[in-house]
Amino acid sequence: MHNERFGAMALLVGLALGMVSVSSAAAQDVVGVEIRTVDLGNGVYALFARGGNMGLSVGDDGVYVIDDQYAPLSARLLETISGLSDGPIRYVLNTHWHGDHTGGNEAFGETGAALVSHENVRARMETGLAEAAFGRSIEPAAEAALPDITLSQGATFHFNDLEVQVIHVPSAHTDGDSIVVFEGANVIHMGDVFFNGFYPFIDVRSGGSLSGNIAGLELGISLANADTRIIPGHGPMGDLADLQAARDTLVTVRARVSELISEGKAEDEAVAADPLADLDEEWGDFFITSEMMVRTAYQSLTQ
């Protein structure tokens, strides 16, 4: 049963990374995926489907899109967006390089939208990754899927009467993460720096780190207030309290795994110690298991 469960979790992570084709048996029901929009006011929407949660700004200037999920969903996503606005899609921002956030780049780019990301996103998409999670590899993306505009730190878009601030978060979920703040709408899109209500996937092989992810959550906390609506990379809509809970949990993970490392425990011994047992019921109910979280923390802290 353990091997079956681990294999299922590996497949889910593979889908997220774009290492497994979404036409595989495990993801063939793309047509039946529910696409749900949540109106956050001021022309800002959250959009939930199968991959990473999306954000939208619609208005007189057109449409600004955050992330674009898997390629087979593109036609349906574009149809959903057209139901919210008849304006052109002007920009698509990728919060990082994983396939469940960039899979629609080619189709969205064909509409005339400019593809935007941190420079490390384009670099990783351009070269792929020979040894990604679970010993798999990721092939380079097609030229048409690569971001047209890259940022080194951040940028501000003046769009639909909002200031859309893009802020790079170093070495968090990956080394190319951005969070997006819709000033004036009190909405933040955290990308995969924030998994709401469960252990996050921190992609150490793509430059991510546990401490960097904690720092990214703390940045989000510093930018939010009690009324801020927060779009996570995965999970339901969140708020400041959810961000704080995610930060506190990862701080606890770091402290406990750090203690085992200081005691001279090897990685397998740290896993066997089961340091997150009391957290699992609340935080272990997604594709990252307690074992995976401990291993990720251990590898990140011993790099």
pLDDT tens by residue, 101-146: 999 999 999 999 999 999 999 999 999 998 777 677 899 999 999 9
Q: With 70 as the cut, is the pLDDT of residue 24 above it? A: no
Looking at the structure of the chain, the number of domains it has is 1
Predicted pLDDT of residue 29: 57
Residue with the two structure tokens 């939930």:
48
The CATH number of the domain holding residue 93 is: 3.60.15.10
pLDDT tens by residue, 150-166: 999 999 999 999 999 99
Residue 125 lies in a domain: yes
Residue 265 lies in a domain: no
Sheet with 229-231: strands ordered across? 154-159, 162-169, 177-183, 187-189, 229-231
Residue 149 lies in a domain: yes
Predicted pLDDT of residue 20: 43
Domain of 47 in residue numbering reads as 2-241
Residue 288 lies in a domain: no
Residue 119 lies in a domain: yes
Residue 274 or residue 1, greater confidence: 274
Average pLDDT rounded to a whole number, residues 181-185:
97
| Angstrom distance (rounded) from CA 189 to CA 194 | 9
pLDDT tens by residue, 136-149: 789 999 999 999 99
